Amino acid sequence: MINWAANDVCQNDHKLQWVKKHISKCTQCGPVDTMSRYGCVQCNIYYCVKCRQPPVMGEFCGGGHELKYVPNLKYHSCDVCRASIAGGAYRCQECDYDVCEKCWIVKED
């Protein structure tokens, strides 16, 4: 298990978990229509990716799955910057989690 959320807790001190959930309300910024990757299941609070960016642990998604490069990933959007993907991107199929090349490069330095 990757312990990536060790320092990030909800208001009740629960460790935030990697989630895959469509949300209509972000705990921090209000009404949204997006996927949440980060929240507290016990308290039923979830954050949009702008407020709590899902951390990328090397080449793995927050769920511990390896991200694989897909050369043609049109009609998807990057889960880190929300930009739509024009070419290739790194993807976890299981979590439907995509990281565009731009975000991937930033994270490497």
CB 87 within 8 A of CB 69: no
Number of residues that bind Zn ion (CB under 5 A): 22
Q: How far is the CB of 46 from Zn ion (least distance, A)?
A: 9
Check binding of 40 to Zn ion (CB under 5 A): yes
Check binding of 94 to Zn ion (CB under 5 A): yes
Check binding of 107 to Zn ion (CB under 5 A): no
CB 102 within 8 A of CB 90: no
Long-range (24+ apart) CB contacts under 8 A made by 32-36 are 34/82, 35/79, 35/96
Q: How far is the CB of 101 from Zn ion (least distance, A)?
A: 8
| In the chain, alpha helices (H) | 101-108
In the complex, the residues that contact Zn ion under the rule CB under 5 A are: 10, 12, 14, 26, 28-29, 40, 42-43, 48, 51, 61, 63, 65, 78, 80-81, 92, 94-95, 100, 103
